[in-house]
Structure 1
Amino acid sequence: MTDAKLVRGTMILTASIFISKILGLIYIFPFKAIVGLEGLALYTYGYVPYTVLLSVATLGIPLAVSKFVSKYNSLGDYETGRRLFKSGLIVMSITGLVSFLILFLLAEPIANLVVDGKDLKGNSIEDVILTIRMVSVALLIVPIMSLIRGYFQGYQSMGPTAVSQVIEQIVRIIFILCLTFIIVHMMNGSVGLAVSFATFGAFVGALGGLTVLLIYWFKRRGNINKQIQESKVNHQLPLRKIYKELVSYALPLSFVGLAIPLYQLIDLLTFNNALMGVGYDQATAEEAFGAFAQAAHKLILIPVSIATAMSLTLLPTITKSFIDNDQSLLQKQVTQTYQIILFLTLPAAVGLSILAYPAYGTLFGLEDVHIGAAVLRYYAPVSVLFSLFAVTSAILQGINQQRFAVIGLLAGLLVKLSLNIYLIANFEAIGAIYATGLGYVTSLGVNIWAIGKHANYRYYFILKRSLLIVFFTAIMAFVIIAVKEFLTIWLPLDNRVYSFIVLLVTVLSGGVVYLYVSVRTNLAGQILGSRFKFLKKKARG
């Protein structure tokens, strides 16, 4: 595979992930307008256990299969990859069926843990059960789809994965918004029924994605069969050995990918009960949970998506440098990765925190801004930790020390589980954010230590560079606060249009100031100049 094809494939896949995430963010605004915060909470009750079981059912299959198939294809053995694919379809069908049955049957026990059946306010147990069971159906086909994507990626073909991901998201969103609008506004149905059908959108979207993959398969199977017939060697590995190797690739990838869903699962099982334990009724607790787990969570993933997409292309080169034992290049690449994450994520998180009220009011409306904006203000800074954990875990995989990412995640989850109820009881909804932040700090501590030890990485330079980024972010924050205070004299944040104007002007002001000081000092050129040449040119000028 040529370097140009590798870069092109990586860019296509990165772009599709980014588009899917943006679509997943945008639809939440009209969806929340239809079903409200309680509806968002109900939606989360179904999606969190579904996401956890999906990760367990697929076990990091797309990346693991692509790595396995690519390895044996490069050895001229196309038959071994095909054997994995054929048997994998059966295995994924079984794991999907088992996961579906587990989630379907556990719907009632989960519902009883999440909501109080005696409280007439808020979502009923029946609504939660139906929501979980509706989303569970998607588990029947999504694991199969993951295997097909991984097989294509093993042939260095990223197009099928990219197109199917985007189509899957588009179909799911159209189904969710159209059906919930029809049920709530045209049929005068309940929000609970509307949200239940919304989660069924996961199955409908998966059908759309699977259809795209099957079209690609029937178009390309002739060429794939020809390559198999022309295979130079056949290792004739027994299936036991094939799956042993596959699992060795997949388990670390799967477990680290479970980070956010597992944190959300802890909140799902403890958040409402902890708040009701300090005097909240169920409806108010669910509104806070909806703001925390869906509305604010979607917004803070914006800087996370941007930063990880920008740094993604560096990670394969880290693996190569480590294998080649090129310590100088490895140090430079790790430093560059850290810098990109901090340079992009820190100002975005700080700006979102300062502008929590106009941002939430503009995007989600003013009727529950007092809850949502308060949560967003404290939650936004945690996005920096999300980004750093994802990237440090990927670096550890690149240097073949992924076990430390797993150890770090387990330690962080233990901190979250130990402190969540106590902190929610003392700080209400913000307590869950504190527990998440402390958990991620713990995980990051393990990752950062492991990178320093096993990549012989020295943090002195990145600490100095981080102080400079923090200083420029502080300048930006001062400008944002000043502009915001000035504008709100004439444009109070009790109007959605005024909130939008304040948000737009302050974001532009802060962004221009941060970019200006970064370019003038050549910080932007040193960090992003290799990607955006104009930054270096301006700095030299």
Structure 2
Amino acid sequence: MSKKESFIKGTLILAAAALVARVLGLVQRVPLEHIFGAVGNASYTVANNVYLMLLTVATAGIPSTLSKMVSERYALKRPGEAQRVYKAALIFAVFIGLVMTVLLYTLAPVYATLTKQPEAVPAIRAIAPALLLFPTIAMMRGYFQGRGYMAANGISQIMEQVLRVITGIGLAFFLLHANYKDEWVAAGASFGGVLGSVAAFGILMWFSSKLRKEDRRQQLEDLSTGSEQLPLMRIYGDIFKLSIPIVLASLAVPAVNFIDGTLVKPLLIHQMGNLSATNTLGILGSRAQSIAGIPPILSIALSASLLPVIAAAFARGDRPHLERQITLAMRVSILTGMPIVIILCAAAYSVNGLLFSSLEGSGIIGLLTLGTIFQITMSTSSSILIGLGKVNLSMGHVLVGIVVKLIASFALAPFFGIYGIIIGTGLCFLVITLLNLRSMKAIVPFHIMSGRWTGFLLTVIVLFGAGYGLNYLGDLTTAVLPPRVGFFFACCLVGISVLILYPVMLVVMRVVRKDELGSYPRVLQKILRPLMRLQRGSAGSA
């Protein structure tokens, strides 16, 4: 297998594992929402958001930096240096894991009081021990990626989520039936994350032992004699110089969720009272954020498959190819994300009734999901910018976006309540996207959908209107059918109709054109090629 094929295969393995892990993570929230009451949902939301924020700060960027440093040294036949870099990263992981765990456990009452959700203390403390292992897990994954062992990372991610889901739901169910209070039920669900980290660590240790045996067979360890003994401070300097900008560039979504978990109750409690504010926070975290996590999954995975090609074209200085691939990556992310956004927004009421314990919060689900189209464009454009070597720019744009989020939340919440806070989230992602696109165009000129925006927007408006109407008709069946059956019928009616009509309208409105079809990922080609007979002639690509 060539290096290019191996790299692409590894990228696909990691993308598939991330996709499965993301789906499992979303699946967990549905049964937990039914198990929890308002206090449990709010407490779990606060604990999960602060944990993911700290986890991103502690690990994001360092694994990819470690991967680069390890792969370079093995390529130069310096395994001794690679091992020293790896050991230095593990020392840092143990240290930062211990510090983060102690801080999160100790400061849990302070943070819970700040969020006006004191019941969240047990849930925060229950998930704190996961931070002991996850920094080490992240370093091990970076090392395996640098050595080209992608299967270890993929399997560990999947098993982590499987055990987290099973144990989290199981512990919450047990504590509920043992008559524990809602905050302790939420703590049981949070503790599932700790057991998930144990599973991931165990799998990586097994792969690590296999790799050591293979290294001994190949006598790689013997090659370390004579290698430069790199000082620890130099290693850490190299790691942090590369990783800190990536950490900050990766913070957008965790930071936004953290801000919401922190500010929702303080901003709303005087408008609606403690009980309603608690319920609203729970709905935002357990329902809206779960549903809003669905649209980015496929579109980001598809566009991510193009990013190695973009990085390679930039390294070669192939500007025409780079322009085509950036255009394609942005276009694919938008075109594949939009139908899921339309379906979930148009059928938000039915989705809420089908999956969750009540119909409260359908508007919250719909509005937050609508803004995910900007999350999709933000994530794709940020990844492209990093691939172009402009990590500092991406980092700066995320920081600007977070400032916009804070200002908008404080400014709009007094007038629009939770909807003002959600609008702030959408504005954050939109601002980051626009800043990213401006920087990308300064490097290489490209057009996402030049001359096609009218057709695309018309497609979106028509299908949203049709989907909303079909959802209304489908909901009428709840008068004669069991409610969940009726809601399921409405969701299917909207989903099938939009998924059938969306590609047809894209072709008819010439948003997708015949002469450029070959550049799309194969899965999209299979869907669109039979429809091209609806399009007379062809037009030049944008």
TM-score tier, shorter chain, comes to: over 0.9
Q: For residues 187-209 of structure 1, what are the alpha-carbon distances to aligned partners after superposition, in whole Å with 9 as ceiling and x for unaligned?
A: 12211111112111111110011
| 2:430 corresponds to 1:438 | no
Question: Is the 2:164–2:195 Cα contact (8 Å) retained in structure 1?
Answer: yes
Q: C-alpha separation between the residues in 2 aligned to 1:32 and 1:153?
A: 36
Question: Is the 2:168–2:190 Cα contact (8 Å) retained in structure 1?
Answer: yes
- CA-CA distance at 1:232 after TM superposition: 10
- Aligned partner of residue 220 in structure 2, secondary structure: helix
Task: State which drifts further: 234-243 or 332-341.
Answer: 234-243
Q: C-alpha separation between the residues in 1 aligned to 2:104 and 2:170?
A: 26
Alignment correspondent of 1:251: 244
Q: C-alpha separation between the residues in 1 aligned to 2:185 and 2:503?
A: 44
| 2:486 corresponds to 1:498 | yes
| 2:104 corresponds to 1:132 | no
Q: C-alpha separation between the residues in 2 aligned to 1:228 and 1:238?
A: 19
Structure 1 pair 488–97 and aligned structure 2 pair: CA distance change class (3 A): closer
Alignment correspondent of 1:374: 363
- Aligned partner of residue 27 in structure 1, secondary structure: helix
Alignment RMSD, CA only?
Answer: 2.1
| 2:299 corresponds to 1:298 | no
Alignment correspondent of 2:537: none
Q: For residues 98-149 of structure 1, what are the alpha-carbon distances to aligned partners after superposition, in whole Å with 9 as ceiling and x for unaligned?
A: 111111121111111112xxxxxxx6x2x32222111111111111111111
Alignment correspondent of 1:28: 29
5 Å-filtered alignment, 1:330-479, equals 330-365=322-357, 367=358, 369-370=359-360, 372-453=361-442, 455-459=443-447, 462-479=449-466
Question: Is the 1:152–1:161 Cα contact (8 Å) retained in structure 2?
Answer: yes
Structure 1 pair 28–59 and aligned structure 2 pair: CA distance change class (3 A): closer
- Aligned partner of residue 174 in structure 1, secondary structure: helix
| 2:133 corresponds to 1:110 | no
Normalised TM-score (structure 1):
0.92
Question: Is the 1:45–1:128 Cα contact (8 Å) retained in structure 2?
Answer: yes
Question: Is the 1:345–1:387 Cα contact (8 Å) retained in structure 2?
Answer: yes
Q: For residues 371-391 of structure 1, what are the alpha-carbon distances to aligned partners after superposition, in whole Å with 9 as ceiling and x for unaligned?
A: x21101111111111111111
Q: C-alpha separation between the residues in 2 aligned to 1:133 and 1:168?
A: 20
Q: For residues 491-525 of structure 1, what are the alpha-carbon distances to aligned partners after superposition, in whole Å with 9 as ceiling and x for unaligned?
A: 45992221111111111011111123335658286
Q: C-alpha separation between the residues in 1 aligned to 2:364 and 2:309?
A: 38
5 Å-filtered alignment, 1:173-322, equals 173-185=165-177, 187-225=178-216, 226-230=219-223, 234-278=227-271, 280-322=272-314
- Aligned partner of residue 110 in structure 1, secondary structure: helix
Question: Is the 1:171–1:204 Cα contact (8 Å) retained in structure 2?
Answer: yes
- Aligned partner of residue 234 in structure 1, secondary structure: coil
Q: C-alpha separation between the residues in 1 aligned to 2:274 and 2:180?
A: 21
Task: State which drifts further: 518-527 or 291-300.
Answer: 518-527
- CA-CA distance at 1:539 after TM superposition: 4.0
- CA-CA distance at 1:261 after TM superposition: 1.6
- Structure 2 counterpart of 1:479, which letter? A
Structure 1 pair 189–530 and aligned structure 2 pair: CA distance change class (3 A): closer
Q: C-alpha separation between the residues in 1 aligned to 2:454 and 2:225?
A: 55
Question: Is the 1:134–1:197 Cα contact (8 Å) retained in structure 2?
Answer: yes
Question: Is the 2:452–2:511 Cα contact (8 Å) retained in structure 1?
Answer: no
The count of aligned residue pairs is 525
- Structure 2 counterpart of 1:237, which letter? L
- Structure 2 counterpart of 1:350, which letter? I
- CA-CA distance at 1:5 after TM superposition: 1.4
Q: C-alpha separation between the residues in 1 aligned to 2:195 and 2:473?
A: 48
Unaligned segments of structure 1, at least 5 residues: 116-122
| 2:137 corresponds to 1:148 | no
Alignment correspondent of 2:536: none
Task: State which drifts further: 87-96 or 239-248.
Answer: 239-248
Structure 1 pair 501–233 and aligned structure 2 pair: CA distance change class (3 A): farther
- Aligned partner of residue 457 in structure 1, secondary structure: coil
Alignment correspondent of 2:468: 481
- Aligned partner of residue 337 in structure 2, secondary structure: helix
- CA-CA distance at 1:55 after TM superposition: 1.9
Alignment correspondent of 1:120: none
Q: C-alpha separation between the residues in 2 aligned to 1:73 and 1:161?
A: 19
Structure 1 pair 49–497 and aligned structure 2 pair: CA distance change class (3 A): same
Alignment correspondent of 2:506: 518
- Structure 1 counterpart of 2:205, which letter? L
Question: Is the 1:338–1:462 Cα contact (8 Å) retained in structure 2?
Answer: no
Structure 1 pair 540–356 and aligned structure 2 pair: CA distance change class (3 A): closer
Q: For residues 163-215 of structure 1, what are the alpha-carbon distances to aligned partners after superposition, in whole Å with 9 as ceiling and x for unaligned?
A: 00110111111111111111112x12211111112111111110011011111
Question: Is the 1:13–1:162 Cα contact (8 Å) retained in structure 2?
Answer: yes
- Aligned partner of residue 477 in structure 1, secondary structure: helix
Structure 1 pair 140–485 and aligned structure 2 pair: CA distance change class (3 A): closer
Structure 1 pair 233–433 and aligned structure 2 pair: CA distance change class (3 A): farther
Question: Is the 1:342–1:466 Cα contact (8 Å) retained in structure 2?
Answer: no
Q: For residues 439-485 of structure 1, what are the alpha-carbon distances to aligned partners after superposition, in whole Å with 9 as ceiling and x for unaligned?
A: 222222211111111x22233x5232343332322332233233233
Structure 1 pair 293–142 and aligned structure 2 pair: CA distance change class (3 A): same
Q: C-alpha separation between the residues in 2 aligned to 1:37 and 1:434?
A: 23
Q: C-alpha separation between the residues in 1 aligned to 2:226 and 2:323?
A: 38
Alignment correspondent of 1:44: 45
- Structure 2 counterpart of 1:506, which letter? V
Q: C-alpha separation between the residues in 2 aligned to 1:536 and 1:56?
A: 41
5 Å-filtered alignment, 1:87-98, equals 87-98=88-99
Normalised TM-score (structure 2):
0.92
- Aligned partner of residue 444 in structure 2, secondary structure: coil
Task: State which drifts further: 514-523 or 345-354.
Answer: 514-523
5 Å-filtered alignment, 1:73-88, equals 73-88=74-89
Quick one: which of 145, 157, 160 aligns to 1:168? 160
Q: C-alpha separation between the residues in 1 aligned to 2:396 and 2:307?
A: 21
Q: For residues 280-299 of structure 1, what are the alpha-carbon distances to aligned partners after superposition, in whole Å with 9 as ceiling and x for unaligned?
A: 12121111111112311111
- Aligned partner of residue 36 in structure 2, secondary structure: helix
Alignment correspondent of 1:118: none
Q: For residues 325-348 of structure 1, what are the alpha-carbon distances to aligned partners after superposition, in whole Å with 9 as ceiling and x for unaligned?
A: 110010001000111111011222
- Aligned partner of residue 464 in structure 1, secondary structure: coil
Percent identical residues: 26
- Aligned partner of residue 523 in structure 1, secondary structure: coil
Question: Is the 1:66–1:150 Cα contact (8 Å) retained in structure 2?
Answer: yes
